[in-house]
Structure 1
Amino acid sequence: MTSWRDVESAVPEFAARVRTLFDAHRHKTIATVRADGAPRISGIESAFDDGELTFGSMPAARKGADLRRDPRFALHSATVDPAEGQEAQWPGEAKIAGRAVVSGEITEGPGGDLFRADITEVVHTHLDPGATLLVVEWWTPGQGLQRRERE
């Protein structure tokens, strides 16, 4: 089981950049697997809470049913377009993939299931300082931090 705390311990600067992107906006997008194997995209809120990445699902929501049946997920930060002429200031986008672990019930609001993430991959996609290359950095528990640049 790999928690957010583990990512922060392994690659603190990278984790801080990813967390900043996730914390910048309230709403994110999660991909789950439907019963027929097709992907499902849903809006979701998430939180970094005491070293864990957590998110919830309202009662009877399809994404919660998806995660209870097949815990694989991919979570995507909100994405903003780079300002024309200021592409080098674009913060990029972040993704976290893994398996959702049911960790209790949500007791506030409408209720539902609370999940914590068993993280298998963290990605930050951004531009190089000259805004001439796309930079993809990713971390996995087994391979550590890796980086690719593309024109």
Structure 2
Amino acid sequence: MRQKLFYLLAITFISSFFSISVFSQDSRAMSFEVKKDEKNYVFYGQLIITVNGQQKVVAEEAADAWLISGGKEIVYTSRDGAGGFENEGQSLYIYDVQTGKSRKIMAQYYGIIGVSEHKLKKRANCTFSQNAGRRTRCFLFFGG
């Protein structure tokens, strides 16, 4: 009886390691960075993400980036805004990591200095952004 209990505990212990390794292989590890080359752009650089060890360039001219939707999407700013004083306006893009596609969700006359995410009912996202010019706040609603 004691030997059967020992084998049962050993099998349970070993199978728990197997299930952990199976689940860890399925998860997607992601990181991102904005590489700025001071020779070409003062404020802008390439937005590069790393998913499961593979790098991908998301945007050639990005100023800042924020993770949303638990890392499934990236919101980033780019230089093709709505104009403004000395053409300093920025636009806001959202990049879907799974599909690899970006879409423009906003264009401003000023630089965008912050973004925060808020989940709403029925899978809609509300992104809050603040711009550098007048320190005004903007709420964007988009399907998520």
TM-score, with structure 1 as normaliser: 0.29
Higher RCO (CA < 8 A, seq sep 6+)? 1
TM-score, with structure 2 as normaliser: 0.30
